[in-house]
Amino acid sequence: MNDTDKPQPGQPEDSAGQTLTEPAPGDQQGERSRSVLRDIASGDAMAGVLAVFLAVFVGSVMIAATDEGVREAASYVTARPSDFFTALWEAISGAYSAMFRGSVFNYLLTEPAQQWRPLTETLKFAGPLILGGLGVGLAFRASLFNIGGRGQMLVAGGAAGYVGFQFDLPTIVHLPLALVVAMVAGALWGGIAGLLKARTGAHEVIVTIMLNYVAYYLLFYALTKDWLLKTPGSVNPKSPPMKDSATLPKVLGDQFNLHLGFVIALVAVGVAWWLLNRSTLGYRIRAVGENPHAARASGINVGMTYTIVMMIAGSLLGLAGANQVLGTVTSGVSLDLDASIGFDAITVALLGRSRPLGILAAGLLFGALKAGGFTMQASESISVDLVLVVQSLIVLFLAAPPLVRAIFRLPAQEAK
Amino acid sequence: MRLVLRGITKRFGSMVANDSISLTVEPGEIHCLLGENGAGKSTLMNVLYGLYKADEGEIELDGEVQHFTGPGDAMAAGIGMVHQHFMLIPVFSVAENVMLGNETTGFAGTLDLDASRARVAEISERFGFHVDPDALVEDLPVGVQQRVEIIKALSRDAELLVFDEPTAVLTPQETDELMEIMRQLKEAGKAIVFITHKLREVRAVADRITVIRLGKVVGEADPTASNAELASMMVGRPVELVVHKDAPTLGADALVVKDLRVTDLAGHKQVDGLSFTIRAGEVLCVAGVQGNGQTELTEALLGLQDDVSGSITLDGVELVGRSTRRILDAGVGFIPEDRQVDGLVPSFTIAENLMLNRSFRSPFVKNGNLRLGALREFAQEKLQQYDVRARDIDSLAASLSGGNQQKVVVARELSRDLRLLVAAQPTRGVDVGSIEFIHKQIVATRDSGIPVLVVSTELDEVVALADRIMVLYRGRVVGIVPADTPRETLGLMMTGERPKDLKDVAS
C-alpha cells in the first residue's frame, strides 16, 4: 500500500486528486448515511456472533434480576452466598434449557417424533423470517433501507387470501396462483417506494414507513367489506378460511405444523444467492449500492435498479405474507397477519449481514427464539417479551460496532 | 521561528506513514517538502498541526519541545496552515472569516467587527494583498480567497506558515502572485513550509528542498537541481518527463460539437455555446482553471448531465439525448476526473471493476449470468498488460494506490472498441511513474486513429499531450490554439483574456 497519507475530515489530502472533489453538502450527507448503512448491514461475521453473545448475556442478567428465587436469595447473600449462586444458576439455566426444549429437542419427552417436534416449529417460524430477511437484505445491498416489510406483507397477504378463499380451483393451479398473486402484490407495493426514489429522490425510509400505514388501513377497509375480504355475516374484520386447495401442504405429515413455506424459503435463499453473486442484475445491484456515481457513469440506470430491487424485495416479503396466510394461520386473513415479521426481517437481514446464507442462519436463530420463547414462558414463567428484548439488543449491538469492539477489546477496524 | 522535527514516526496500524522524519526550518526560509501523493507529506504536517499524535519523535519550536493536543495548541504556538481547500465560510465577509474562531467580543458578547476589519486592512497593506475586509468571500476569486486564508493565519501571529499544495486551484498568474507573496513573507522573517509535487514551483521559490518518499526522507536537494534529478529522487528511479509522440496522422472529423450548452441544477449555464471538432487520430486538450465548465463538458459528452442543448455527433451519430449506456455502446471511453467517485467501486475487486461498464453484454455476460471464468482471465491479462501493482485480481480497488487505481480505470476503458476517448484529469493524484505510463497509453490510443479529448488543469500535461489546445473560461471557448503556444499566452487565456494577435487553428 503506497497510500500512506490519511485524509482527515475537513483536512484536505496531499494533492488534487485522491479523495478530493468535495461533494455538495446534501450529497455528502447522502454519502454518510450510505456508508453508515453499509457498515451496519455488512459488518464482519464476528460482530454478529458477538452481538448475539452479548445480547444473550444481558438477557441472562434480566432473567436473574426478575427471578423471584434469585431476589429472595439476594436478600441474605452475605449470610449464605451459595444460596444466591444456586438460585442464579437455576434461573438462568432453567430459562435457556426451556428455550432449547422449545426450539430444538425436547429431552423430557420419550417419543422421538414428539421430541423433535420443537425443531419443526422452529423451522416453521424461520420460513417467513428468512423470506422477509432476504427482502430487506437485498434492498440493503442496493443501499436501500426497506422498512416497508409490514406493508408489503399485508398487501400481499390480503391478495393471496382473496385468491385463497374466493376461487375454486385444483390445488395444482390454486396454490401457485395464490403465491404468484402475493409476489406480484408485494412487488407492486415495494416498487412504489423504488419508483418514487428513482423519479423524485423521495427517501425510501419515509416512503416505506408511510406505505405501511396505507397498507394497514387498506387491508382494514377490505376486511370490513363483504365484497372484498370480510366474511359475510360476521362482525369481525376477518376473511373466510382458506380453501384446502390453496393452503401450503404440511411437509412432514399432519402431526407437524411445518409446511411448504420453509421449503419455499430455502429455494429463495438459493435464488437470492445466485442473483447477488452470479447474475448480472445482482452485479448491478451491488454496484449501485456501493457506488451509485460510478454505476451511473458506467451506463447503469440507477433509478431503474432501485425500482427493480424494491420490486424483488417486495415480492420476497409478499411470499412471507403468503406463507402466513396460506400456511401458518389458514383460518383467514386478519390485520395481524404479518405477526411483526416485517420488522423482525430487518433484524434478520442485519444479523445475516445482508448475505443470503447469513440470513438463512439468522432466520433459523430467530425462529428458534420465537419457538423457544413460548416454552420458556410456559415452563419457567419468564415473559416471552424477554425474547423480544434479546432480539432488540442484538440489533442494538450490531448498530454500534465500536461498542462491541470496546467491550471485547477488539482492535479498531483498519482504515483502508 | 525555528522549527525542528526530530525523528517523527507515525503509524497507521501496520503501515508506517512517517518513518523517523527529521526536518529543520529556519526563520526567513522557504523549505519545500517534495514528494509524490501518498509519500507522507500531509501526514507529517498533520502531526505538526496537532491533528495526529506522533508515535515517536518530537516537535521543537525555538528550542522548546511542544506537545500539541490539537490545532488550537499549534495555532497558539504560532503555526499557521493554509489548506488546499479553503476553510472559509462563503457567505461571511473577509473580516468575519478572519475573526472566526478567535473572536474578540465587546459588551454582552457583541462581536468587535471593527477590530477585525482593522487587522485585515493592516495585514493587507503590509504585504500588499489588496483585500477588502467587507467583501463576501464567495464573491472573491480563488487566488484572493487564498490570501484571506493567509491573512487569517497572520492575524494570529503565525511565525511558521505551512502551505499544503496551495497551487492546485490557481491559474498560472495567481500561482506567480502566490510565489511573490511567499517571498515577501520570507523577507518578513516568517518560516515557510511549502508542500508540493510540482517541480517547477519548487525550483522557483525554495531555499531548501527535502524530498520524501514512502514516508522517509530520501535526501535534500538544491533548488538548482534539474527537474529530472528531482523527479528521480521523488520516484526512486529515472523518469521520462517528456512524452514522446510523433506528428499526428489525422483522419476525418470524428467528434463534432456544436453550440453545446449545459445548465446545472441551480440554473447556471456551466457550458455556454461550445463548438469544436476533433479529428480521428488527434488529441485535443482542454485547458483552464478548475471549475470553468470542463466537468460539465465531459459529463455532457457521456450523457451524465440532465439539461443539455446543442449537438454532439460522433462519426455522424448524434449523442445528445442518448442514455449513458447507449453512448458507451457507441464506443466512447471515459476516464472520469475523480476515479473514487465516478470511476471505481472501491469495495469491488479489481476484476469486478474491470467489467463495470460491460454488465449488459458479452464477453462477461451470458443469459443474465456472469461469466466469472472469462472475467478472471481478462482481469489477469489486464493486470499484466497495464502493470497494475496489486496482490491479485481479487484485491479490492480501495486497497490500491491512486496510480494503480487509475491504471485499472484506464485498462477498463482502453480494452473496449473505442471510437472516442474522453480523459478527464487522467493523471490527477497519480505518481510520476504511473503518469508516464498513462500518457503513453493515451498517445498510443491517438496513434491508433482514435480521437482523444483530454481535460487537464495541469499546463504541463496539456502541453505534453495536445495536438491542439482549447482554453475554456466560464464555460466558453477563449481560443483553440496550437500545442506550441507559449505558456504565458495560455496562462493569460485561462483568465479569460484573448490576446489580440491570436489565431484559432482549425483541425
pLDDT per residue as tens digits for the range A162-174: 999 999 999 999 9
**Closest to B81 (Cα-Cα) out of B153, B5, B157:** B153
Residue finishing a domain among B416, B436, B453: B416
Residues B135 and B262 grouped into a single domain: no
> Would you call A299 and B323 a contact, using CB atoms and an 8 Å cutoff?
yes
What is the grid cell recorded at B124? 493587507
> Would you call B401 and A3 a contact, using CB atoms and an 8 Å cutoff?
yes
List, for chain B, all residue ranges whose pLDDT scores fall below the cut of 50.
none
Q: Chain B contacts of A5, Cβ < 8 Å?
A: 17, 37-43
Surface of B (348-367) touching A: CB under 8 A: 348, 352, 355-357, 359-360, 365
Minimal-distance CA residue of chain B relative to A13: B42
Residues A57 and A138 grouped into a single domain: no
Q: Does B9 touch chain A (CB under 8 A)?
A: no
The answer to which of A34-43, A201-210, B270-279 has the lowest mean pLDDT is: A34-43
Minimal-distance CA residue of chain A relative to B33: A14
How far is Cα B362 from Cα B364, in angstroms, rounded to an integer? 5
Burial of B247 (0-12, 13-18, 19+ CB in 10 A): exposed
The answer to which of A199-213, A360-374, B111-125, B365-379 has the lowest mean pLDDT is: B111-125
| Residue carrying C-alpha cell 472520469 | B336
Residue A40 has pLDDT above 60, yes or no: no
Range of the domain at A223: 126-368
Which residues neighbour B431 within 8 Å (Cβ) at sequence distance 6 or greater? A2, B36, B37, B38, B235, B401, B402, B403
Residues A270 and A135 grouped into a single domain: yes
Residue A8 has pLDDT above 60, yes or no: no
- The answer, yes or no, to whether the previous bond of B426 is cis (omega within 30 of 0) is no
Candidate from B12, B347, B355 with C-beta closest to A290: B347
> Would you call A2 and B431 a contact, using CB atoms and an 8 Å cutoff?
yes
Identify whether A6 is part of a domain: no
Residues A100 and A165 grouped into a single domain: no
- What confidence tier does A52 reach under pLDDT thresholds 50, 70, 90? confident
Residues A312 and A343 grouped into a single domain: yes
Q: Chain A contacts of B402, Cβ < 8 Å?
A: 2-3, 17-18
The structural domain count of chain B equals 3
pLDDT at site B316: 93
Identify whether B339 is part of a domain: no
How close, in Å, is residue B372 to chain A by CA atoms?
Answer: 8
- What confidence tier does A240 reach under pLDDT thresholds 50, 70, 90? very high
What is the grid cell recorded at A38? 453499509
Residue A221 has pLDDT above 80, yes or no: yes
Identify whether A262 is part of a domain: yes
Residue A345 in contact with residue A149, Cβ under 8 Å?
yes
Minimal-distance CA residue of chain A relative to B322: A299
Residues A104 and A52 grouped into a single domain: yes
Identify whether A7 is part of a domain: no
Candidate from B337, B356, B365 with C-beta closest to A287: B356
- What confidence tier does A251 reach under pLDDT thresholds 50, 70, 90? very high
Candidate from A6, A286, A291 with C-beta closest to B12: A6
Residues A132 and A69 grouped into a single domain: no
pLDDT at site A14: 37
pLDDT at site B232: 85
Q: Chain A contacts of B196, Cβ < 8 Å?
A: 15
Residues A176 and A241 grouped into a single domain: yes
Q: Does B39 touch chain A (CB under 8 A)?
A: yes
What is the grid cell recorded at A185? 402484490
Surface of B (266-305) touching A: CB under 8 A: 302, 304
**Closest to A214 (Cα-Cα) out of A224, A202, A206:** A206
Residues B254 and B397 grouped into a single domain: no
Helix (H, G, I), strand (E, B) or coil at A234: coil
Residues B302 and B430 grouped into a single domain: yes
How far is Cα A290 from Cα A302, in angstroms, rounded to an integer? 12
Residues A186 and A297 grouped into a single domain: yes
Identify whether B340 is part of a domain: no
Return the DSSP state at B215: T
User: Is the CA virtual torsion A291, A296, A300, A303 positive or negative?
Assistant: positive
Distances (CA, A) of A165 to A169, A246, B35, B158: 10, 8, 75, 82
Identify whether A34 is part of a domain: no
pLDDT at site A24: 38
Q: pTM for this structure?
A: 0.81
Identify whether B336 is part of a domain: no
User: Is the CA virtual torsion B48, B50, B52, B54 positive or negative?
Assistant: positive
How far is Cα B234 from Cα A210, in angstroms, rounded to an integer? 58
Q: Chain B contacts of A21, Cβ < 8 Å?
A: 337-338, 341
Q: Which of B55, B165, B326, B413 to mutate: most A Cβ within 10 Å? A: B165
Give mean pLDDT, residues A117-143. 96
Helix (H, G, I), strand (E, B) or coil at B93: strand
Range of the domain at B191: 3-235
Residue A7 has pLDDT above 80, yes or no: no
How far is Cα B90 from Cα A21, in angstroms, rounded to an integer? 17
**Closest to B40 (Cα-Cα) out of B27, B26, B57, B28:** B57
pLDDT at site A30: 59
Residues B119 and B42 grouped into a single domain: yes
Identify whether A375 is part of a domain: no
Residues B304 and B380 grouped into a single domain: no
Residues A309 and A234 grouped into a single domain: yes
As a dihedral over the C-alpha atoms of residue B314, residue B320, residue B324, residue B326, rounded to 10 degrees, the angle is -60
Residues A177 and A214 grouped into a single domain: yes
Residues A283 and A393 grouped into a single domain: no
Residues B19 and B161 grouped into a single domain: yes
The structural domain count of chain A equals 2
Residues B70 and B82 grouped into a single domain: yes
Residues B204 and B264 grouped into a single domain: no
Identify whether A58 is part of a domain: yes
Candidate from A3, A8, A290 with C-beta closest to B402: A3
Residues A292 and A237 grouped into a single domain: yes
How far is Cα B41 from Cα B43, in angstroms, rounded to an integer? 5
Q: Chain A contacts of B41, Cβ < 8 Å?
A: 5, 14
Residue A415 has pLDDT above 50, yes or no: no
pLDDT at site A42: 55
Q: Chain A contacts of B372, Cβ < 8 Å?
A: 278
Q: Chain A contacts of B341, Cβ < 8 Å?
A: 21, 23, 291, 293-294
Identify whether B93 is part of a domain: yes
Candidate from A18, A280, A293 with C-beta closest to B342: A293
> Would you call A278 and B370 a contact, using CB atoms and an 8 Å cutoff?
yes
Residues B115 and B227 grouped into a single domain: yes
Identify whether A205 is part of a domain: yes
ipTM surpasses 0.85: no
pLDDT at site A250: 94
Residue A4 has pLDDT above 60, yes or no: no
How close, in Å, is residue B342 to chain A by CA atoms?
Answer: 4
Identify whether B165 is part of a domain: yes
Residues B303 and B218 grouped into a single domain: no
Which residues neighbour A38 within 8 Å (Cβ) at sequence distance 6 or greater? A143, A289, A290, B347
| β-bridge mates for residue A296, sequence order | none
Residue finishing a domain among B235, B269, B300: B235
Residues B30 and B75 grouped into a single domain: yes
> Would you call B429 and A15 a contact, using CB atoms and an 8 Å cutoff?
yes
pLDDT at site A379: 82
Return the DSSP state at A66: H
Identify whether A36 is part of a domain: no
pLDDT at site B17: 85
Surface of B (311-340) touching A: CB under 8 A: 323-329, 334, 336-338, 340
Residue finishing a domain among B186, B201, B235: B235
Residues B378 and B393 grouped into a single domain: yes
> Would you call A14 and B340 a contact, using CB atoms and an 8 Å cutoff?
no
A–B: how many Cβ contacts below 8 A?
Answer: 181
Identify whether B338 is part of a domain: no
